[in-house]
A and B are shown apart, each in its own frame.
Chain A
Amino acid sequence: MNAWRGFKKGAWTDGVNVRDFINLNFTPYDGDGGFLSGMTERTKSASERVKKLLIAENEKGGVLDVDTERVSSLLAYEPGYIKKGEDIILGLQTDTPLKRAVNPFAGYRNAVQACEAYGYKISPEITREFEYRTTHNTGVFRVYTDTMRKARHAGILTGLPDAYARGRIIGDYRRVALYGMDYLIKQKEADKAMVGERDHDMTEETIRLLEDIAKQLEFMQRLKQMAADYGCDISRPAENTYEAIQWLYFGYLGAIKEQNGAANSIGRISVFIDIYAERDIAEGTLTEAEAQELIDDLVLKLRLVRHLRTPEYNDLFAGDPVWVTCSLGGVSTDGRSMVTKTCFRFLQTLYNLGPSAEPNLTVLWSNSLPKGFKDFCAQVSIDTDSIQYENDDVMRDMYGDDYAIACCVSAMKVGKQMQYFGARCNLAKVLLMALNGGRDEKFGDQIAPEGKVFDEKPLDYDEVIEAYKKYASWMANLYVKTMNVIHYMHDKYAYERLMMSLHDTDVERLMAFGISGMSVLTDSLSAIKYARVTPVKDERGIITDFITEGDFPKYGNDDDRVDDIAKWVVDFFYHELCKTKAYRGARHTLSILTITSNVMYGKKTGSTPDGRKAGEPFAPGANPMHGRDSEGALASLNSVAKLDYACCRDGISNTFSVTPETLGHTDEDRVGTLTTMLDGYFAQNAHHLNVNVLNRQKLIDAMNDPTLYPSLTIRVSGYAVNFNKLTREKQEEVISRTFHEKM
């Protein structure tokens, strides 16, 4: 059978070019969700089976089982099934569902500790093997300077991927389906030959690339074998919808067997799959119920993705997330809506299979999306709190129309750009360091070059800004250097062979920096400028507290006096980062995203001039601080919308919680309010919004009795979590966040 029958030919038929294939062949859908199907009997049965597994996992303390005998790889395990004969989309990470694999390539000690935390012990064979192997973690710590270690220890740089894998790279898994592995291998071999010839001097950079390609080729072969073990021949292109989904899922599965990075996003697959579904439905070989069943089964598999993590890791990223981010919707560069029926089908899984944190369904919102889709999304948000929204109208300008979101808010062109993930720098601590002449306010270490310690006299804004600029500039340089070390070592010892094989050989690299404490720093500077702030020193002579007298404008009230400070903070730090060259020619990007680590960052930070006391949580992402936005939800959105995406190309995360009653009396009113709100927010070039429509009381009830709402899903900074998987401390923090409610 001709795999490409009925498809419009173009540049994609002469070389790897999935974007061209999509643009020539997708069918926009302008209607509503009326066509959608519920679950088939088989899906019901499979879904029940998965629910039971999830309950068992939860009852065992979060980890159902660990395979301590083998090191994770594509061919390490026999084929696994939820139930053989019932699974449609085949493939599990290990030989049984929810059994976690050991993957020590990024950090051996981490793997050992993760096993021990759940009562397991790594086998002597693996231990012996890794005695003679350098991991990414070992490499990094061989090279870290004293200053890097100090900054890391103090928590100014935190969450760095130096002991765990970096993640955030999205393989173009669609290539497996569209071209088949044999073609892709042939293309890579040709690339390798070309790279070997084109460099007159055979520089280190070229040698490294050649070795990378050789590693990629090896794993492309293994992927074929992995699929063959499941009885599938992916050497050839997929011939129908089922195969297209299965083939691309194999690509994804191979990638997450090899890698255990933080975020394991799957890309922009719905519009791609839809092209096959439209063709098969037209040919009479697929019904709507069957199409939905395929998506349901894929999503069930994606809900089972797991990595083995240490408890410390969970402090940073609560709720055991894997960020199987799946991007839906958007608009093509020639202005056509890329909403297809399959975008609806993915959202429909939240009704068929119930609300869930994963996959991380991400709607690429544009003001020009069809009303039927906008209304459906809003309804799904109101019913499930399981989706996030990102502004396609700003991202399309920079990333075109075949980008996808990795993790929470990181856009990249699929198969053409990859990212060096860089966690974040705590800017609130940088301010405290500047006031303390380079010393850390908690540990007292001299981290940065020694400077003037401010007196216990009311602070002068201009003097503070001068000091802050000096230290932020120093910090930015240290941050880039630290990242360069990390990613050099990650490329060397834990290179993503399969994921990178599904990228163009001459890939564009982004180095994604991040900041936390943006709103704390902003309000602190505003307090220094508009109120009277007097530092208080402790017995070590270190400023550990502040007396703040008088009122000051606070970020989150659409007040330019302070919002301009926020803009400056972001703009300044980004441009300082750009002054230091990034590893492998990467381009600097920046995010304002904390995931759930805002609680941990707060713990590590002393009292700040805005009135926040030592240890108290930061606001998540780019959110205003809790309870400081006094003019309601839209004022808060307007403040965040002012931050410039051009300096935050890795995303600006904002989480929004509202009670259903605030949005309207009826479902129809609520959908209308929510879509109008999203349109209004994004029309101002805002980037991202997590939407939760729920009652504070419901969360309090769920905290006190987790059995009441077993699948209660809420959106936190850039992803969704099952509320019951959060620690009590994080649950309380979520509950204390500003809820926009109408009395």
Chain B
Amino acid sequence: MKEGRSLRADIHSFESLAALDGEGIRYCVFFTGCPLRCACCHNPDTWFKSGREYGSDELCRKISRYKPYFKNGGGVTFSGGEPLLNAGFINETGALLKSEGINYALDTSGSVSLTNEVMTAVDNADMVLLDVKFPNAAMYKKYTNGDFDVFLRFADYISETRKRVWFRTVVIPGINDTERDIREYAQLVSRQNKPERYELLAFHTMGFYKYDKLNIKNPLTGTPPMDKEKLNRLQNYLNGLI
């Protein structure tokens, strides 16, 4: 399938200063395409191709420009969309990055099948930021249209391979913002190795305009942003459980 370094991927955008998506300063690459349709998605514009394709060596050259900032564990974070839909491309780019001494992290929903390519991409990642979308099959289906079992198999693989991992969950008012919900998340992740961090992220409405622009129905229209103080309380509660 592979012929030298020839793979290309469709990329939505770049963020050159991302300090929250992994260790140190991260250069974020947002791929397009996602198997999920999360109700709370704030980047629905990444669901569709942008038409901006990059080759792996072209992308690597672009990323290398930021090497001076990658001290203290910094590097690239492949995000999206779902980056692992481009696992082959990531493997190719990752190898090039490695020769430049640049690490990469994966910011993934884990809703992808464990193909050899996906496993290689995970194995070579410095760390994984794993979105724990919802804690049970019913909610997972309802709010992401995804298959909970696929996610569980991915999470188990992370755990078995003792990958460095941060869990992250977006907390949405009226959907998963009670202590009961948090307990269920804690229970779910208790079967995994303890993550380095488990961050609760506040649902915000700053991506709402994108739904209008794309003419897609926004399933959470009218939902308020998550209250920061309440989120802090839930975070503390979660910290006590795991």
Contacts and interface: CB of A to CB of B under 8 A. Distances in A.
B65 interface: yes
Given A634-B27, A743-B207, A680 B69 contact: yes
A541 interface: no
B68 A633 contact: no
B68 A680 contact: yes
Interface in B57-105: 62, 65-66, 68-72, 74
Contacts of B72: 672, 676
B143 interface: no
Interface in A604-649: 630-636, 638
Contact of B18 (A558, A679, A684, A742): A742
A679 B71 contact: yes
Contacts of A662: 17, 19-20
Given A638-B66, A743-B42, A743-B206, A676 B74 contact: yes
Contacts of B16: 558, 631-636, 638
A676 B71 contact: yes
Interface string B105-148: 00000000000000000000000000000000000000000000
Contacts of A676: 24-25, 69, 71-72, 74
Interface residues of B, number: 24
B178 interface: no
A56 to B, nearest CB: 39
Interface centre among B70, B71, B74, B204 (most CB of A within 10 A): B71
A680 B13 contact: no
B47 interface: no
B42 A673 contact: no
A370 interface: no
Contact of A684 (B27, B62, B68): B68
Interface string B20-49: 100011010000000000000010000000
Contact of B19 (A636, A664, A683, A684): A664
Contacts of B42: 743
A664 to B, nearest CB: 5
A224 interface: no
A679 B68 CA distance: 7
A558 B69 CA distance: 14
B101 to A, nearest CB: 14
A631 B13 contact: yes
Given A634-B25, A635-B16, A742-B20, A680 B206 contact: no
A664 B27 CA distance: 14
Interface in A668-713: 669-670, 672-673, 676-677, 679-681, 683-684
A740 interface: yes
Contacts of B206: 743
Contacts of B70: 680
Interface size class of A (residues with CB under 8 A): 20 to 34
Interface centre among B42, B74, B207 (most CB of A within 10 A): B74
A740 B207 contact: no
A367 to B, nearest CB: 10
Contacts of A742: 15, 18-20
B17 A632 contact: yes
**Chain A interface mostly helix, strand, loop or mixed?**
helix
B171 to A, nearest CB: 15
A663 interface: yes
Contacts of A681: 68-69
B14 interface: yes
A663 B21 CA distance: 11
Nearest to A635: B16
A531 B90 CA distance: 33
Contacts, number: 74
**Chain B interface mostly helix, strand, loop or mixed?**
loop
B68 A558 contact: no
A665 interface: yes
A664 B68 contact: no
A669 B22 CA distance: 11
Nearest to A743: B206
Interface string B137-168: 00000000000000000000000000000000
B44 to A, nearest CB: 13
Contacts of B13: 630-631
Contacts of A680: 25, 66, 68-71
Given A676-B25, A676-B74, A638 B19 contact: no
A743 B16 CA distance: 14
Contacts of B27: 634
B68 A683 contact: yes
B31 to A, nearest CB: 15
Nearest to B25: A676
B15 to A, nearest CB: 4
A677 B25 CA distance: 8
Contacts of A630: 13
Interface centre among B15, B62, B65, B206 (most CB of A within 10 A): B15
A631 B14 contact: yes
Contacts of A672: 24, 72
B14 A665 contact: no
A558 B70 CA distance: 17
Contacts of B24: 672-673, 676
Contacts of B19: 662-664, 669-670, 673, 742
A82 B6 CA distance: 73
Contacts of B68: 679-681, 683-684
Contacts of B66: 634, 638, 680
Interface string A470-503: 0000000000000000000000000000000000
Given A558-B65, A634-B66, A680-B69, A665 B74 contact: no
B17 A634 contact: yes
A632 B13 CA distance: 10
A488 B19 CA distance: 52
A740 B204 CA distance: 18
A693 to B, nearest CB: 12
A632 B65 contact: no
A636 B69 CA distance: 13
Contacts of B62: 558
A681 B65 CA distance: 11
B14 A632 contact: yes
Given A631-B14, A632-B15, A676-B72, A664 B65 contact: no
A742 B66 CA distance: 18
Nearest to A740: B17
B12 to A, nearest CB: 12
A465 B216 CA distance: 46
B17 A633 contact: yes
Interface string A159-171: 0000000000000
Contacts of A558: 16, 62, 65
Nearest to A665: B20
A673 B24 CA distance: 7
A128 B25 CA distance: 65
Contacts of A740: 17
A635 B62 CA distance: 10
Contacts of B74: 676
B92 to A, nearest CB: 22
Nearest to A673: B19
B9 to A, nearest CB: 17
Given A676-B25, A680-B71, 14 more contacts: A558-B62, A632-B14, A634-B17, A634-B27, A634-B66, A634-B69, A662-B20, A676-B74, A677-B69, A680-B25, A680-B68, A680-B70, A740-B17, A743-B206
28 contacts: A558-B62, A631-B13, A631-B16, A632-B16, A633-B16, A634-B69, A638-B65, A638-B66, A663-B19, A664-B19, A669-B19, A673-B24, A676-B24, A676-B25, A676-B72, A676-B74, A677-B17, A677-B69, A679-B69, A680-B25, A681-B68, A681-B69, A683-B68, A742-B15, A742-B19, A742-B20, A743-B206, A743-B207
The 5 closest A-B pairs by CB, nearest first: A680-B69, A634-B16, A632-B16, A680-B68, A633-B17
Interface of A: 558, 630-636, 638, 658, 661-665, 669-670, 672-673, 676-677, 679-681, 683-684, 740, 742-743
